[in-house]
Amino acid sequence: MLIIHDAARIVIDAETELGPGDFAVGSTVPREQPGSQPDPEPPAPTPDHLDASGCIITPGLVNAHHHLLQTAFRTLPGTRGVPMHVWLPTMAAAYSAVGIDPELAHAAARAGIAEGLLGGVTTVADHHLTWPNGAGEARASVALAEATARAARELGGRLAFVRGTARDDPEEAALSAEALADALVPGATNGVTADGMLQLAVGPAGVHSDSADTFRLLGEVAARRGLRRRTQANEQVDVAIALEKHGRRPIDLLDEWGWLADDVTLAHLCAVTPDEIALLAARGVTATHAPGCDLPMGWGIAPVAALREAGIVVGLGTSGGGSNDAGHLLADARLALQVAPLVGPPIPARDMLGMAMEGSATGLGRPELGHLRPGAAADLCVWDVSGVADAGVADPVAGLLWASPGRRPRHVVVAGRVVVRHYELVSHDQRDLAADLTTLLAARRT
């Protein structure tokens, strides 16, 4: 049992707040909590305690779209503010020069997941697209995925690993996805391990790089294994290449290829028409907004308000370090608030916070994440709002997003375990993780 004392306010979800008071959790949120005595539990060790005085408790954030490997490739020359047809080969050359293998995947994932935890991200979806030698042979892909999963386990964060493709051979990609299901989530009917800490999904990079066969075969694996499906759509290059190669737009192709359904999440969606939005809503597709990637690269702004107005659940993601050099989801939520009026009406801060929590979790098919209602997974953040960055703030919950661009939580809890205490990782020194990745990259680039 973990007892969090003296919170100024407790955010249960985007619509419900309690407080001030204490909050007690086990591995899940007790049914009678907060506001009364929790359900009795079997005898347990002495409860852990966290001080939340001057703080707001929220559910843990869910980063619905990341590329953790790109944590090793941030601020590369020639990758900022360039068209995607320039960005893609520049990144590919950088990958080739360093070499993609489990050692690098582990080091990059540890740094990326640690960065997320220190920023309040308790679950991250890693859309992994780059495989050893550009292939995706099953044995090599299992080793790489296991290295990424090990990084999450070491740090105590939840991971949704997406077996992505980017011009991979369709049959090899499908065999790899089957092998990953056997290795990572054996026996799972929904692609999630029994403890909820690891999830597997499948996801081609998009119609700009992957064929109808790739979408079909990975879709078949998803159906057999009960996996969620994820892909990227309607960024700058995606629309242009789809029109050039197929004479049609990406959403039209995805509909024909069977990839518009309620188990599918589409990232980006910068250039969608009203008719396409209506089609996505009718099919039950969920979406992920990634403004920290799309805006600085000049790839567009998703019309989030229009998507939500149509009934589409929208989550939030950072995308990877190759386009968004930070993995700070709350900062990207603030950016999303700032740019929303450029493409539609403003979005309330609580709604945006809900996107970064339950909106993202819904896209992963994880109803236990992103909120603190009874029975929820005990993932939460404790945010200090007593400093000068919050002085004069009339609405401290809205101020979580608006008032401090670099805000980080004092404490972070995942599955009832404290993984960040007083702004530092519990299991590792973040400086060691950074040094490990820096040393590895330096050795490979010489």
Per-residue pLDDT averaged across 238-264, rounded? Answer: 95
Per-residue pLDDT averaged across 59-83, rounded? Answer: 95
Per-residue pLDDT averaged across 65-71, rounded? Answer: 98
Separation of alpha carbons 83 and 237, rounded Å = 8
Tell me the CATH class for 61-363.
Answer: alpha beta
**pLDDT averaged over the chain?**
94
Q: Where in the chain is the domain with CATH 2.30.40.10?
A: 2-58+375-425
More confident residue, 137 or 62: 62
H helices of 99-167, where?
Answer: 102-118, 138-155
Cβ(195)–Cβ(235) below 8 Å: no
pLDDT tens-place string over residues 10-61:
999 999 999 899 999 988 887 655 444 444 454 555 679 999 999 999 999 9
pLDDT at 446 over 90: no
Separation of alpha carbons 74 and 79, rounded Å = 9
- Residue 10 contacts by C-beta under 8 Å, 6 or more apart in sequence? 17, 18, 19, 21, 23, 34, 56, 57, 372
pLDDT for 32: 56
Q: According to the CATH classification, is domain 2-58+375-425 in 3.30.360.10? A: no
SS (H, E, C) 261-317: CCCEEEEECCCCCHHHHHHHHHHCCEEEECHHHHHHHCCCCCCHHHHHHCCCCEEEC
Helix (H) or strand (E) holding 392: none
Helix (H) or strand (E) holding 211: none
Q: Give every strand in the sheet of 198-204, ordered side by side.
A: 61-66, 121-128, 158-165, 198-204, 228-233, 264-268, 286-289, 314-316
pTM summary value: 0.95
Rounded to 5 degrees, what are φ and ψ at 424? Answer: -130, 145
pLDDT for 100: 94
Place of tokens 């309607």: 234
Secondary structure class of 210 (helix, strand, coil): coil
Lowest mean pLDDT, pick from 32-41, 193-202, 242-251, 410-419 = 32-41
pLDDT at 397 over 90: yes
Helix (H) or strand (E) holding 88: helix 84-98
User: How far is CA 275 from its chain centroid?
Assistant: 27
Cβ(238)–Cβ(206) below 8 Å: yes
Bridge partners, 229 (sequence order): 202, 264
pLDDT for 320: 96
pLDDT at 306 over 70: yes
pLDDT for 301: 95
Q: Where in the chain is the domain with CATH 3.20.20.140?
A: 61-363
What are the tokens at 285? Answer: 């597709």
Place of tokens 């999904």: 201
Per-residue pLDDT averaged across 85-103, rounded? Answer: 93
- Name the E strands within 8-157: 9-13, 16-18, 21-25, 48-51, 55-59, 61-66, 121-128
pLDDT at 376 over 80: yes
Separation of alpha carbons 428 and 408, rounded Å = 17
Lowest mean pLDDT, pick from 32-36, 171-175, 245-249, 354-358 = 32-36
Per-residue pLDDT averaged across 214-236, rounded? Answer: 96
Lowest mean pLDDT, pick from 78-87, 166-175, 362-371 = 78-87
pLDDT tens-place string over residues 107-122:
999 999 999 999 999 9
Query: DSSP per residue over 310-365, as a string?
Result: TT--EEE----TTT-S---HHHHHHHHHHHGGGTSS---HHHHHHIIIIIHHHHTT
Per-residue DSSP letter, 374: T
Q: How confident is the model at residue 133 (pLDDT cuts 50, 70, 90)?
A: low
- How many other CB atoms are there within 10 angstroms of residue 86's CB atom? 13
Bridge partners, 23 (sequence order): 4
pLDDT for 343: 96
Secondary structure class of 121 (helix, strand, coil): strand
- How many other CB atoms are there within 10 angstroms of residue 195's CB atom? 10
pLDDT for 27: 84
Lowest mean pLDDT, pick from 24-33, 252-261, 262-271, 324-333 = 24-33
Instruction: Write the CA distances from 354 to 14, 317, 408, integer angstroms.
Output: 5, 13, 17
Separation of alpha carbons 404 and 248, rounded Å = 43
> Taking the C-alpha atoms of 270, 274, 280 and 286 in order, what is their torsion angle to the nearest 10 degrees?
50
